[in-house]
Amino acid sequence: MDLLRSLPIGLYLEQPVTWLHRIDARVKIAWLLSLLLAPVLASSPYRIAIVAFLVLLTISARIPWRVWRQQMGWLLLLGTLVTLLILVMPDGIAISQQPRLPTADSLNSWPDELTTPEKLPDVPPVTGYQYDIANLEIAKLPPLNLSLQITQRSLRLAIKVSTLLFTLIYATTLFLLTTAPEEITEGLENLMQPLSKLGIPVTEIALTLTLALRFIPLVLEEVQNLVRSVRTRAIKWQKLGVRGAIQIWLMVSERLIENLLLRAEQIASAMQVRGFTSPNQHRVVWHRLRLRWWDWVVLGGLVSFWWARIVFGGVA
């Protein structure tokens, strides 16, 4: 299962067991939702503070460097590329410059009683604010004139997009890294229990989510087996051309779908053999959900987190 071991997203870290593993799944779900909602309409310093908080949280949990490198490497690269791209893009503000005083042509066209222009108010004192942060000349030739301009708006937009992207992906990844799939489904089912009074099948939804999470490794295994089968045949793609390559990949995709349907049928047959009729009659509890003292401490930290968001988060 090389593909499963090397996949940087969605892995569950079984060993070592960190303090994040011991926290109740419901508490971690509440923190995850808070981390995803707090950056909305928040100021740039607060978004940067959330990113720093996630990094410090990872360091305090003592997650192994090999796992952290897989999780953070490509994400930092993606965030850096997005930041640089938005920094040098036009900010979308088209400023049309107009003279402060009327020109001679406009004065000649005015009536005689309006030939004397009105005195403009005094200009306020100059401050240190500059809209243009940097203006880099790349090529300055008569046919070609390229320059990269970084403005205040492009800087704010780059910070906003990159921090939101990092928080959205890494907070979810860290949650999946320290929470077993069974704990996630148990926590969601427990939190959705009030919806059962409205006739919503909460238990069936939790069972479907559990099967979906368990089915993901099977999908990756089938993809890995098909990729290996294509490699062992030493196909010369240059001689096949575009049409031949498309036909081969269509055949591989068809085989992948057939294998996945066969796996799904085997799972359904296994459940029927064991007499499974409904989730309510054949309920399997993997974890005992119980809030311990450290869970209450973490919930208290969540209250402080939202207090800091209201007081210091501001509005972007």
Examine the pLDDT at 1 and tell me if it is beyond 50.
Answer: no
Q: Give the mean pLDDT of 98-115.
A: 56
Mean pLDDT of the chain: 76
Does the predicted TM-score (pTM) go above 0.85? no
User: Quick check: 106 pLDDT over 60?
Assistant: no
What is the per-residue pLDDT for 78?
Answer: 81
Phi then psi for residue 150, to 5 deg, are -110, 120
The domain locations on the chain are 1-92+130-180+289-316, 201-286
Using a CB cutoff of 8 Å and minimum separation of 24, what contacts does 77-86 make?
A: 78/165, 79/162, 79/165, 79/166, 80/162, 82/158, 82/161, 82/162, 82/165, 83/158, 83/159, 83/161, 83/162, 84/158, 86/154, 86/157, 86/158, 86/161, 86/162
Find the mean pLDDT for residues 235-252. Answer: 81
Give the phi and the psi of residue 173 in degrees, each rounded to 5.
-65, -40
pLDDT in tens, 4-44: 555 555 567 777 888 888 888 888 989 999 998 888 888 88
Q: What is the pLDDT of residue 252?
A: 86
Quick one: pLDDT at residue 175?
A: 86
**What is d(CA 183, CA 32) in angstroms, rounded to the nearest whole number?**
14
- Please tell me the predicted confidence (pLDDT) of residue 2: 54
Q: How confident is the model at residue 207 (pLDDT cuts 50, 70, 90)?
A: confident
* Stronger pLDDT, 138 or 68, i.e. the higher one: 68
Mean pLDDT value of segment 213-226: 80
Residue 311 has pLDDT above 80, yes or no: yes
Residue 128 pLDDT > 50, yes or no?
yes
Residue 123 one-letter amino acid: V
Give percent above pLDDT 70 in the chain: 73
**SS3 at position 261:** helix
Measured between alpha carbons, how far is 313 from 42 in angstroms, rounded to an integer? 5
Average pLDDT over residues 193-198: 83
Non-local CB neighbours of 214 within 8 Å, separated by 6+ positions: 181
Query: Does the pLDDT of residue 117 top 60, yes or no?
Result: no
**Average pLDDT of the residues in 277-301:** 74
Residue 91, pLDDT score = 62
Quickly state the pLDDT bin for 234 (edges 50, 70, 90): confident
